[in-house]
């Protein structure tokens, strides 16, 4: 009997060890996958595969930045002079315009003579900027191809324009998204901290047993509501309210996002702060009261300082919750990819961007990889938050 029990115990231990190993490996694999996909963006050019940008052979311009190309196609730059070239107006040529420039006879029924058409058109037009697919490049192509640099970490992290689907050159600047995430998280904490701390103190020190027994499950229930519901609540109630109160053109704004996120971070902050407050040793509190301190003085001078590291930990976990929140933010912040200057403007966060765009990004493409790189940035941000949490939670002081 004893032997079989021992064997069973061994098997159970083995299963536990195995599940531990599987969990760790899975987590590691996901991280490796995330970074592998994300970092591969830096080996890529911000243009579609097989597409070519070319100019007239006599054009002195041979290099253009992604932003310059965007401004050319937006017709903000219209003369080669602005780019250090000759005084010539820029003539854009996209492949879909071929039909209006050449007739079917010239192109051939299966476009077999299109490469030749493009080539001769190019030589005739000194100010041309061609954008086409290398399927239609002729063997003796006379144009000068424009060099486009790979996506580099500097322009990726500090770029201010997020237009990942722009043609011909995708604009991948994530600074507005990073700042948007930090901005809305900060707002959420500013909003949640006073409420959360007050509720925690009330529950730990002031409320009687009965009220606490009602309040605690209610707060915990708040943590169990799906984030879509919060988002919907925000969209229907908070967004119109924000718009009316502050007389904004649209209510979708950083403020609405902060309020919704603040509500979502409340349970984390309340639960952890309350636990920290309640761990204050009875002896400390009683000593304070015995010295003649009032209840409020005891809370302020004894309980709060004792629990401060626990409260900080609660706040940081609340921040972690807010940074990674996707659905609710997507619905209420308006998602304009601009660097936020006030809480009354729309902004766009990293998780919302990934959620909104991943579905349409072609697998393995530039946009897809850019979104994974965003995932890496988000991972690093939450990782730092968790490290800080670990550090503070360990530091207990009397």
Partner 1 sequence: MKAVVYSFIFVVLLSSCSDSSVTSDNQGNIKSKTKQLNIKGSDTELPLTQNEIEGFLKLNPNASISLTGGGSSVGITALIEGNTDIAMASRNLTSDENSKLGNKMQHIVKATIAYDALAIIVNPSNPINRMTKEQLQNIYLGKVENWKEMGGIDHKLSALGREQSSGSYAFFKDHILDGKSYINTMPQMSSNGQIVESIEQSPNAIGYVGIGYVTSKVKALAISFDGGKTFINPTMDKVKNGAYKIARPLYYIYSTDTKAKVEPFLNFVLSDSGQKIVESTGFIKTN
Residues of this chain that interact with partner 1 (CB under 8 A) are 48-51, 70, 73-75, 94-96, 132-135, 161-167, 176, 235, 239-240, 243, 249-252, 330-331, 334-338, 345-346, 348, 356-357, 359-363
Closer of 53 and 307 to partner 1 (Cβ): 53
Tokens 């995330």 map to which residue?
Answer: 34
Closer of 176 and 375 to partner 1 (Cβ): 176
Q: Is the separation of the CB atoms in 201 and 277 below 8 Å?
A: yes
Closer of 87 and 110 to partner 1 (Cβ): 110
Closer of 12 and 211 to partner 1 (Cβ): 12
Q: Is the separation of the CB atoms in 280 and 203 below 8 Å?
A: no
Min dist. Cβ of residue 164 to partner 1 (A)? 6
Closer of 204 and 239 to partner 1 (Cβ): 239
Tokens of 285: 């509190």
Min dist. Cβ of residue 326 to partner 1 (A)? 11
Min dist. Cβ of residue 252 to partner 1 (A)? 5
CA angle at residue 40 from 155 to 364, to 5 degrees? Answer: 115
Q: How far apart are CA 57 and CA 353, in angstroms?
A: 41
Q: How far apart are CA 296 and CA 299, in angstroms?
A: 5
Q: Is the separation of the CB atoms in 108 and 114 below 8 Å?
A: yes
Closer of 105 and 360 to partner 1 (Cβ): 360
Min dist. Cβ of residue 203 to partner 1 (A)? 34
Min dist. Cβ of residue 32 to partner 1 (A)? 22
Min dist. Cβ of residue 71 to partner 1 (A)? 9
Burial class (CB in 10 A: 0-12, 13-18, 19+), 188: buried
Q: Is the separation of the CB atoms in 306 and 284 below 8 Å?
A: yes
């Amino acid at each position: 009997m004893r032997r079989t029990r021992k064997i069973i115990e061994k098997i159970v231990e083995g299963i536990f060890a195995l599940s531990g190993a599987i969990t760790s490996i899975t987590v590691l694999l996901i991280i490796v996958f995330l970074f592998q996909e994300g970092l591969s963006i830096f080996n890529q050019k911000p243009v579609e595969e097989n597409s070519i940008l070319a100019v007239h052979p006599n054009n002195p311009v041979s290099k253009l930045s992604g932003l310059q190309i965007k401004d050319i196609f937006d017709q903000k730059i219209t003369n080669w002079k602005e780019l250090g070239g000759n005084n010539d107006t820029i003539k854009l040529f996209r492949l879909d315009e071929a039909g209006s420039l050449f007739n079917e006879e010239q192109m051939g029924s299966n476009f077999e003579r299109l490469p030749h058409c493009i080539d001769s058109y190019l030589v005739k037009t000194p100010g041309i900027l061609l954008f086409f697919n290398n399927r239609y490049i002729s063997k003796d192509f006379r144009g000068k191809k424009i060099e486009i640099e790979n996506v580099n970490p500097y322009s990726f992290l500090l770029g201010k324009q997020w237009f990942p689907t722009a043609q011909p050159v995708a604009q991948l600047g994530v600074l507005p998204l990073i700042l948007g995430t930090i901005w809305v998280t900060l707002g959420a904490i500013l909003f949640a901290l006073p409420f959360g701390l007050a509720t925690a103190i009330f529950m730990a020190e002031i409320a009687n047993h009965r009220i606490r027994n009602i309040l605690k499950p209610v707060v915990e229930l708040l943590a169990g509501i799906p984030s879509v519901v919060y988002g919907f609540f925000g969209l229907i109630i908070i967004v119109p309210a924000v718009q009316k109160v502050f007389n904004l053109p649209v209510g979708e704004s950083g403020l609405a996002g902060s309020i919704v996120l603040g509500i979502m971070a409340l349970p984390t902050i309340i639960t952890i702060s309350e636990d920290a407050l309640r761990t204050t040793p009875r002896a400390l509190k009683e000593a304070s009261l015995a010295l003649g301190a009032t209840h409020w003085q005891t809370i302020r001078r004894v309980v709060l300082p004792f629990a401060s590291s626990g409260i900080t930990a609660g706040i940081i976990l609340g921040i972690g919750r807010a940074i990674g929140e996707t659905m609710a933010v997507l619905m209420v912040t308006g998602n304009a990819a601009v660097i936020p200057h006030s809480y009354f403007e729309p902004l766009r966060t990293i998780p919302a961007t990934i959620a909104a765009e991943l579905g349409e990004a072609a697998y393995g493409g530039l946009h897809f990889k850019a979104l994974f790189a965003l995932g890496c940035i988000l991972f690093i941000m939450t990782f730092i938050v968790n490290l800080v949490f670990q550090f503070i939670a360990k530091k207990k002081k009397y």
